[in-house]
Amino acid sequence: MASTTLESRDDPLAVVVEKPRSETAIESLRAEGVYDDDRRVREYGSETVALPVLEPPSETAVLEVVRQIDPAYRTRDLADHLRERGWSDDDLEAAPGSWAVIGSVILVRVPDDCPDETDLGEALLDLHGEADSVLADEGISNESESEGEGEGDAGTYRQPRTRLLAGSSDTETVHVEDGTRYALDPTRVMFSPGNQAERRRMADVVGPDERVFDMFAGIGYFTLPMARAGARVTATELNPTAFRYLLENAMANDVSSRVDAYHSDCRDLAGDVRADRVVMGYYGVGGGEDEAGHGSRVEEAVSFLPAALEALEPGGVVHYHEATPEPELWARPIGRLEAAVEEAGRDLEVLEKRRVKSHSAGVEHVVVDARVE
């Protein structure tokens, strides 16, 4: 990339960072409010990249600040990129309206009538200059990876179903969110950008040294922000790939001393845990449709409530997640909580009800916070 000193020209600014640090630096620059989304990331040297900025950063560590003689400006939207590839207005009606950028990987739901998947993938790479791969997101497999574990078993690994549309087949990446680093491979473990607000909230609600039981930890979705906020987290995860990333991410975020991670079914550990807060960020796997035509689920979080209550100390808080059909909000999740708490001979106080995101047509991913005495 051609560049010059700051004093000699009026060309737009860029900062130079090492390639492995690019995603972390972009997140930091965005947090500072100086990242320029109108320009593309450019290669600067064999080991470095130039990240476009509006002004020199004051908090983000960079190698140097330069001016770009030949900045590459982004086309404004996906439709413009697709038009350049010959898509008609009718074709654009079949283009996706949204997608997720996870580190250097783009995940997109491809519409059934998409005219050209390869064009779509390459256009998304052009739109997001920092991305290396585009994957078709085809949901979560209901099949267990372990021999002897059937569909809907508690050992279901929530394996993503993806296809490579464009770019590199090396899809292992690091996604940075609110300063938390998540290493993962989106072809092997799930990551929902739509849960970002809930992950941020979990970091806000915990207190220093609070004891948390994260029953379905995954790669550390809730464990990491809570531990970074000072909580002490007992985290269980059954998927071996996700568990490996959980350990790596705890170290990468410097919270290993506050995370006790177990490659285990959470129910096997519940009797040995004493928690002030229990997070149940799981709502089962698809099992067909109910009589009303809504997606039904098997091995739902409700079946894990006895274990959650066994671990929860009197006065503690449980965060109960469900995929609930709209007609049953909020009666079903609260009713299930009340029944489990009554069965345990305890008392319940509902603190908050929240919609996390739309799960599917007519079904909402929700969470209920409840204090249990």
Q: Would you state the pLDDT for residue 290?
A: 46
Q: If you search the block for the tokens 């490659």, which residue do you land on?
A: 263
* Distance, CA of 72 to CA of 83 (rounded, Å): 19
Contact between 87 and 96 under an 8 Å Cβ cutoff? The reply is no
What's the pLDDT score for residue 148? 38
- Is residue 215 within 8 Å of residue 320, measured between CB atoms? no
pLDDT tens, residue order, the chain (373 aa): 555 555 555 789 999 999 999 989 998 999 899 999 888 899 999 999 999 999 999 999 999 999 998 888 876 799 999 999 999 999 999 999 999 999 999 999 999 999 999 999 999 999 998 899 999 999 887 544 433 333 333 335 778 999 999 999 999 999 999 999 999 999 999 999 889 999 999 999 999 999 999 999 999 999 999 999 999 999 999 999 999 999 999 999 999 999 999 999 999 999 999 999 999 998 775 554 545 444 444 557 899 999 999 999 999 999 999 999 999 999 999 999 999 999 999 999 999 999 999 988 899 999 999 999 9
For residue 59, report the phi and psi dihedrals to the nearest 5 degrees.
-120, -25
* DSSP letter (8 states) at residue 163: E
pLDDT at 145: 40
- Please tell me whether the peptide bond between 99 and the residue prior to it is cis, using omega within 30 degrees of 0: no
Residue type, 224: L
As to burial, measured by CB atoms within 10 angstroms (0-12 exposed, 13-18 middle, 19+ buried), residue 242 is: buried
**Do residues 357 and 321 touch, judged by C-beta distance below 8 A?**
no
Rounded distance, CA 255 to CA 261, Å? 11
Among residues of the chain, what percentage have pLDDT more than 90?
78
What is the reported pLDDT for 143?
Answer: 47
Q: Write down the pLDDT at residue 25.
A: 93
**Distances 11 to 25, 36, 129 between C-alpha atoms, Å:** 21, 13, 20
- List the structure tokens of 287: 């099992």
pTM for the model stands at 0.79
- 248 φ, ψ to 5°? -60, -40
